[in-house]
């Protein structure tokens, strides 16, 4: 299996139904059903928002430091099996703070699991864009005591109606703290959101970014500056951003000379981890080993943390 880095992975999106049920029982949290098959049967999404509703609901089971540890430890075991040598992992502190979970529990649990795994890894703190810029700034300030436990900031959750430019100030503060910067843009939002992420937030990678292909000037900019795009093919199909994998624009992005990587986004919800994404691109889209090798090499080049990529 080819060694790869995973650069677009929400740790809360690795919460498998089996762990939802186990943590609900452990924490005395009520669920609409304790049947994992019934939970999975609800994972038929019409769009990003219909996924996010269930994603935030399921997080109710995450309460203690041990829960965050077990979540991340389970992901890192899966990642190792999938040939991941290095993972830059998103987490959503606001989603936990608003449920009364202290930041200490989130950071201590995640950091302990990351430190115990043979897979190299780092954390990227994501702001929930639909909760606004003011709250994002408050969250960043509240997390600065934990500054050594994360390497960067990102922007996720419901994209359309929440453009990157609203978050200029919080990204400026993050840059001043030496934090790396990424943002989800061009998943459901148009190329204008990608322009704003680059020009206003000064992001160093674009998460998704597939709709950049609608704007030739933007494609030229991304190519010339070698801005990495963290594409998530199975996610795009399950959230109906593309009709089927066969329709995915990823091969055209590679042909344009873009710095494309392949990632799993929320693997517990979208039907596969990162190697499953690579395999689907080969089996369903007919991508060649040469193309997939290029993508895997890109993933190391696009990492913020240097890692040994040798097999
Ligand atoms: C996400 Cl697929 C996706 N898009 C935006 N925000 C997210 N948070 C978790 N998964
Ligand atoms: Zn994402």
In the reported structure, the alpha carbon of residue 153 is separated from the centroid of ligand 2 by a whole-number distance in angstroms of: 13
What number is the average pLDDT over the span 274-302?
98
Three-state SS string over 77-132 comes to: HHHHHCCEEEEEEEECHHHHHCCCCCHHHHHHHHHHHHHHCCCEEEEEEEEEHHHC
Q: Which residue lies with its CA nearest to atom 4 of ligand 1?
A: 157
Q: Which residue lies with its CA nearest to atom 3 of ligand 1?
A: 157
Question: What CA–CA distances, in Å, run from 107 to 10, 38, 84, 185, 255?
Answer: 15, 31, 22, 26, 40
* Full residue range of the structural domain in which residue 84 is found: 4-301
Q: What was the pLDDT predicted at 307? A: 87
In the reported structure, the alpha carbon of residue 310 is separated from the centroid of ligand 1 by a whole-number distance in angstroms of: 31
What angle (nearest 5°) sits at the alpha carbon of residue 160, between those of residues 246 and 57? 85
pLDDT in tens, 95-113: 999 999 999 999 999 999 9
Pocket of ligand 1 contains residue 187 by CB under 6 Å: yes
Best probe residue, ligand 1, of 6, 7, 10 (max atoms within 8 Å of C-beta): 10
Q: What was the pLDDT predicted at 311? A: 58
| Inter-residue contact 186 to 211 (CB < 8 Å) | yes
How far, in Å, CA of 191 to CA of 217, rounded? 10
Catalytic center residues: 187
Report if residue 38 sits inside a domain.
yes
What number is the average pLDDT over the span 239-252?
98
pLDDT in tens, 116-131: 999 999 999 999 999 9
Best probe residue, ligand 1, of 183, 265, 277 (max atoms within 8 Å of C-beta): 265
Partners of 84 in beta bridges: 4
Burial 160-196 (b: 16+ CB within 10 A, else e): eebbbebbeebbebbeeeebbbbbbbbbbbbbbbbbb
Question: What CA–CA distances, in Å, run from 4 to 7, 49, 77?
Answer: 10, 29, 15
Main-chain phi, psi angles of 134, to 5 degrees: -65, -45
pLDDT in tens, 132-187: 999 999 999 999 999 999 999 999 999 999 999 999 999 999 999 999 999 999 99
pLDDT exceeds cutoff 80 at 4: yes
Closest CA to 179 of 113, 126, 110: 126
How far, in Å, CA of 39 to CA of 35, rounded? 6
| Inter-residue contact 19 to 66 (CB < 8 Å) | no
The CA-based dihedral angle spanning residues 210, 216, 218, 224, taken in that order and rounded to the nearest 10 degrees: 110
| Inter-residue contact 252 to 214 (CB < 8 Å) | no
What number is the average pLDDT over the span 199-208?
98
- What CATH number is given to the structural domain containing 43? 3.20.20.140
For the chain, what percent of residues have pLDDT higher than 90?
A: 98
pLDDT in tens, 258-273: 999 999 999 999 999 9
- Model pTM? 0.98
How many other CB atoms sit within 10 Å of the CB of residue 31? 18
pLDDT in tens, 87-98: 999 999 999 999
Residue 230 CA: which ligand is closest? 2
Q: Is 10 marked as a binding-site residue? A: yes
| Inter-residue contact 155 to 201 (CB < 8 Å) | yes
Report if residue 310 sits inside a domain.
no
Report if residue 307 sits inside a domain.
no
Pocket of ligand 1 contains residue 235 by CB under 6 Å: yes
Pocket of ligand 1 contains residue 157 by CB under 6 Å: yes
pLDDT in tens, 22-37: 999 999 999 999 999 9
Main-chain phi, psi angles of 200, to 5 degrees: -95, -45
Closest CA to 297 of 282, 287, 307: 307
Report if residue 309 sits inside a domain.
no
pLDDT exceeds cutoff 70 at 20: yes
Q: Is 8 marked as a binding-site residue? A: yes
Domain count along the chain: 1
Q: What was the pLDDT predicted at 308? A: 77
pLDDT band at 310 (very low <50, low <70, confident <90, very high): low
**Structure-token pair, residue 230:** 């963290």
pLDDT in tens, 40-71: 999 999 999 999 999 999 999 999 999 999 99
Cβ neighbours of residue 112 closer than 8 Å, sequence gap 6 or more: 65, 69
Pocket of ligand 1 contains residue 266 by CB under 6 Å: yes
């Amino acid at each position: 299996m080819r060694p790869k880095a995973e650069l677009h992975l929400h740790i809360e999106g690795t919460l498998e139904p089996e762990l939802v049920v186990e943590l609900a029982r452990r924490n005395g949290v009520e669920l609409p059903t304790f049947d994992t098959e019934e939970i999975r049967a609800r994972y038929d999404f019409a769009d990003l928002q219909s996924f996010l509703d269930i994603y935030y609901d399921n997080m109710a089971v995450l309460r203690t430091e041990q829960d965050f540890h077990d979540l991340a430890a389970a992901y890192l075991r899966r990642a190792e099996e999938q040939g991941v040598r290095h993972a830059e992992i998103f987490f959503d502190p606001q989603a936990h703070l608003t449920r009364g979970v202290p930041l200490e529990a989130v950071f201590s649990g995640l950091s302990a699991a990351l430190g115990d795994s043979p897979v190299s890894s780092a954390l990227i703190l994501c702001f929930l864009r639909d909760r606004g810029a003011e709250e994002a700034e408050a969250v960043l300030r509240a997390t600065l005591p934990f500054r050594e436990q994360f390497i960067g900031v990102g922007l996720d959750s419901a994209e359309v109606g929440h453009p990157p430019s609203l978050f200029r100030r919080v990204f400026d503060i993050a840059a001043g703290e030496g934090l790396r910067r990424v943002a989800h843009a061009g998943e459901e939002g148009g190329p204008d959101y990608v322009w704003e992420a680059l020009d206003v937030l000064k992001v160093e990678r674009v998460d998704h970014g597939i709709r950049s292909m609608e704007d030739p000037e933007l494609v030229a900019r991304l190519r010339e500056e070698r801005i990495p795009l963290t594409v998530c093919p199975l996610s795009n199909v399950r959230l109906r951003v593309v009709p089927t994998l066969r329709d995915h624009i990823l091969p055209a992005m590679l042909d344009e000379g873009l710095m494309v990587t392949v990632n799993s986004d929320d693997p517990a919800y979208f039907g596969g981890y990162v190697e499953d994404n690579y395999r689907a691109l080969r089996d369903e889209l007919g991508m060649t080993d040469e193309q997939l090798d290029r993508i895997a090499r890109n993933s190391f080049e696009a990492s913020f943390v240097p890692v040994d990529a040798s097999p």
